[in-house]
């Protein structure tokens, strides 16, 4: 394994949820400890299973791992860190500022940026504590900060004074006001991240086109900021031996090999390792030790069993229920790489086939949607919102209004704030808002929607909903975009996820975020399920069995309405394939 050779003191693993960061970081820690190294493993997963992996309680202080001599572990709970972080900022101003300003600041501090910055606040103590490197040879982190966070930490100027003078105008600089450590400490932390003698960054991915494109963007952004000591690990690769007597396995293998042969330009130059898809969950030291085996051994699970099929509704049944309303807004939401665009296109085509007038709108790149549809229907209108153009238009508007009276340092801070993911979500949602009103007379299917945090932030900072209500009073009826989204008769939100632990957790967190904004998801779509696919591959059957607890957890804890969509031998591209997907 290339990434395991000559490892520097700090090792960061980064990648999308569900790609296997925690498993690989735990396996790496075990490998190094087995070589006689003293290792500290730091987890920042909000549902960390490090304790489960090693069958002991870890928690937020350093604990030796009993099953692995030489290994200690620490679990940073980012949600808890963010809660303490918010309290440090908001509690002192309660009663001093108007309630609407306090609520606006609180909402600014409720998003992913706050959670990430709060977690990085904890990281810096580990990155700059010289005494830790006298106790440990290596410190392994299973999450790395994004480029946006690192740029914020590099900014000159006084964060707190900017927030004091712009209480309603910042969405991601707000969290910076709570940083209480010395600025020199952050400078040292960023310096350590950029030093290849001290830090190695491992990008973890799966062999899926969308995942690889996202990892390529991460690579480019971090390299631009000076984090150039990067390696690529491609996890979960299907072994060719599984393709001999199974059509589905053969199709998956061919797709993965094609993706491997056509890596994005930025990734193809990186030192790269591939890890085989494993038949069992990565829990326990013995399982993790097998993760880095260079050859795949299938003998341990050649025995096949009849796999119980979960009870589920088809995507067709979901569309039938949607069609009864004859019009409305259908929003598909979820993390990247779960198949939102494909699901949105399939639902739009199915509604159009039923004779309805349908408008499908997306902020995914136009080529992606064009390739997905690969055709047209007379009663299906398609619009493609360019996130870059919309964000740039929004940025210029904010700079010309809120930024017009700022000095140079203040403008630099505002410009950085406007590079955040929240900014793109707000800009794209404003573009989406122009077509929302159509949902009163036709179906509008919306792909790539904003999070509940962004909607609340938009509502809080713009005060649009409240301003309309104040002006209208008792004079008449009105509907704002926020009210439309909160009305279950007008809007159906569908969460798209995969039948795996981390994607389900991420979807559940997104649902809680939306519910905080008064938006209650109508149903879930669990995409790419092996448990209802036709396969005889022993490995895929084992993987299918592991999906069942996740599907049942969604049914019991999160959703009353669930549709399962099977893994397909062929990519569902083109109108005919999308029709087959709905069935």
Q: Helix/strand/coil (H, E, C) string of 104-138?
A: HHHHHCCCHHHHHHHHHHHHHHHHCCCCHHHHCCE
Which among 517, 511, 509 has a CA at the least distance from the CA of 561? 511
Residue 148 corresponds to which tokens in the numbers above?
């946006």
Instruction: With a cut of 50, say whether residue 12 has pLDDT above it.
Output: yes
Q: Which residues pair with 234 in a beta bridge?
A: 205, 274
Instruction: With a cut of 90, say whether residue 448 has pLDDT above it.
Output: no
* Given the residues 25, 372, 391, 502, the one annotated as active site: 502
Per-residue pLDDT of 163-186, as tens digits, reads 455 544 445 555 565 555 556 777
Active site residue 462: no
Residue 281 corresponds to which tokens in the numbers above?
């969950």
* Given the residues 15, 17, 20, 236, the one annotated as active site: 20
Active site residue 44: no
Structural domains present in the chain:
2-78+123-161+181-291 (3.40.50.300), 315-394+417-582 (3.40.50.300)
Active site residue 268: no
CA 47, 216, 386: angle at the middle one, nearest 5? 95
Environment class of 421 (CB within 10 Å of its CB; exposed 0-12, middle 13-18, buried 19+):
middle
* Given the residues 15, 16, 21, 337, the one annotated as active site: 21
Q: What is the 3-state secondary structure (H, E, C) of 317-354?
A: HHHHHHHCCCCEEEEEECCCCCCHHHHHHHHHHHHHHC
CA 111, 117, 120: angle at the middle one, nearest 5? 145
Instruction: With a cut of 90, say whether residue 70 has pLDDT above it.
Output: yes
Does residue 515 contact residue 562 with C-beta atoms inside 8 Å? no
- Residue 148 is predicted with a pLDDT of 63
The alpha carbon of 263 is separated from its chain's Cα centroid by a whole number of angstroms, namely 21
Residue 129 corresponds to which tokens in the numbers above?
């504590």
- Residue 280 is predicted with a pLDDT of 77
- Residue 172 is predicted with a pLDDT of 57
Does residue 119 contact residue 81 with C-beta atoms inside 8 Å? yes
Active site residue 45: yes
Per-residue pLDDT of 481-536, as tens digits, reads 777 888 888 999 999 999 988 889 889 988 988 888 888 999 999 999 999 998 88
The stretch 233-254 carries a mean pLDDT of 92
Active site residue 340: no
Which backbone phi and psi does 406 adopt, to 5 degrees? -80, 155
* Given the residues 14, 15, 16, 23, the one annotated as active site: 23
* pTM of the predicted model as reported, rounded to 2 decimal places: 0.81
Instruction: With a cut of 70, say whether residue 391 has pLDDT above it.
Output: yes
Q: What is the 3-state secondary structure (H, E, C) of 380-430?
A: EEEEECCHHHHHHHHHHHHHHHCCCCCCHHHHHHHHHHCCCHHHHHHHHHH
> First CA to last CA across the chain, in angstroms?
43
**Least confident interval from 73-82, 123-132, 365-374:** 365-374
* Given the residues 14, 16, 17, 22, the one annotated as active site: 22
Q: Higher confidence at residue 151 or residue 132?
A: 132
Active site residue 502: yes
* Given the residues 14, 44, 45, 124, the one annotated as active site: 45
Active site residue 23: yes
pLDDT band of 456, cuts 50, 70, 90: low
* Given the residues 15, 16, 17, 18, the one annotated as active site: 18
Task: Give the span between the Cα atoms of 251 and 257, in whole angstroms.
Answer: 10
Residue 478 corresponds to which tokens in the numbers above?
């009105």
**Least confident interval from 19-28, 105-114, 474-483:** 474-483
């Amino acid at each position: 394994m290339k990434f395991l050779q000559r490892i520097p003191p700090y090792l960061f693993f980064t990648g999308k949820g569900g790609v296997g960061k925690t498993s690989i970081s735990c396996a790496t820690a075990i490998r190094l400890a087995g070589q006689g190294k003293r290792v500290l493993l730091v987890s920042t997963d909000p549902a960390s299973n490090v304790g489960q992996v090693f069958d002991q309680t870890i928690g937020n202080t350093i604990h030796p791992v009993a099953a692995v001599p030489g290994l200690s572990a620490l679990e940073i709970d980012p949600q808890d860190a963010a809660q303490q972080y918010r309290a440090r900022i908001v509690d002192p101003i309660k009663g001093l500022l108007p309630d609407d300003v306090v609520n606006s600041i609180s909402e600014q501090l409720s998003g992913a940026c706050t959670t990430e910055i709060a977690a990085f606040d904890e990281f810096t103590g580990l990155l700059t504590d010289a005494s830790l490197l006298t106790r440990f040879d290596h410190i392994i982190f299973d999450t790395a900060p994004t480029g946006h966070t690192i740029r914020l930490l590099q900014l000159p100027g006084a964060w707190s004074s900017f927030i004091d003078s712009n209480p309603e105008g910042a969405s991601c600089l707000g969290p910076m006001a709570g940083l209480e450590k010395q600025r020199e400490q952050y400078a040292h932390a960023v310096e350590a991240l950029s030093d290849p003698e001290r830090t190695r960054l491992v990008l973890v991915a799966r062999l899926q086109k969308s995942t690889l494109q996202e990892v390529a963007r991460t690579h480019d952004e971090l390299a631009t900021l000076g984090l150039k000591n990067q390696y690529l690990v491609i996890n979960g690769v299907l072994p060719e031996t599984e393709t001999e007597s199974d059509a589905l396995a053969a199709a998956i293998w061919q797709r993965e090999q094609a993706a491997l042969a056509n890596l994005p330009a930025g990734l193809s130059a990186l030192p790269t390792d591939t890890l085989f898809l494993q038949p069992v969950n990565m829990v326990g030291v013995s399982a993790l030790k097998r993760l880095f085996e260079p050859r795949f051994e299938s003998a341990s699970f050649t025995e096949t069993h009849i796999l119980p099929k979960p009870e589920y509704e088809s995507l067709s049944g979901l569309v039938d229920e949607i069609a009864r309303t004859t019009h409305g807004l259908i929003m598909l939401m979820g993390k990247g790489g779960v198949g939102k665009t494909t699901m949105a296109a399939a639902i739009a085509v199915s509604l159009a086939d039923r004779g309805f007038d349908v408008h499908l709108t997306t902020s995914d790149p136009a080529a992606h949607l064009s390739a997905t549809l690969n055709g047209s229907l007379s009663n299906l209108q398609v619009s493609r919102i360019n996130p870059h153009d919309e964000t740039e238009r929004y940025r210029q508007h904010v700079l010309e209004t809120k930024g017009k009276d700022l000095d140079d340092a203040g403008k630099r801070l505002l410009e950085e704030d406007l590079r955040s993911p929240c900014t793109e979500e707000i800009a794209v949602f404003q573009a989406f808002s122009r077509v929302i009103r159509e949902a009163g007379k036709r179906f509008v299917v919306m792909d790539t929607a904003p999070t509940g945090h962004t909607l609340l932030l938009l509502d809080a900072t713009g005060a649009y909903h409240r301003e309309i209500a104040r002006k209208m009073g008792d004079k008449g009826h009105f509907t704002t975009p926020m009210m439309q989204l909160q009305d279950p008769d007008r809007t159906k939100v569908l969460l798209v996820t995969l039948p795996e632990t981390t994607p389900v957790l991420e979807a559940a967190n997104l649902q809680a975020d939306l519910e905080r904004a008064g938006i209650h998801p109508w149903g879930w779509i669990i995409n790419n399920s092996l448990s209802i696919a036709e396969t005889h591959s022993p490995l895929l059957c084992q993987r299918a069995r592991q999906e069942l607890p996740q599907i049942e957890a969604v049914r019991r804890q999160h959703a009353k309405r669930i549709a399962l969509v099977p893994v397909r031998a062929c990519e569902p591209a083109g109108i005919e394939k999308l029709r087959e997907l709905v069935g």
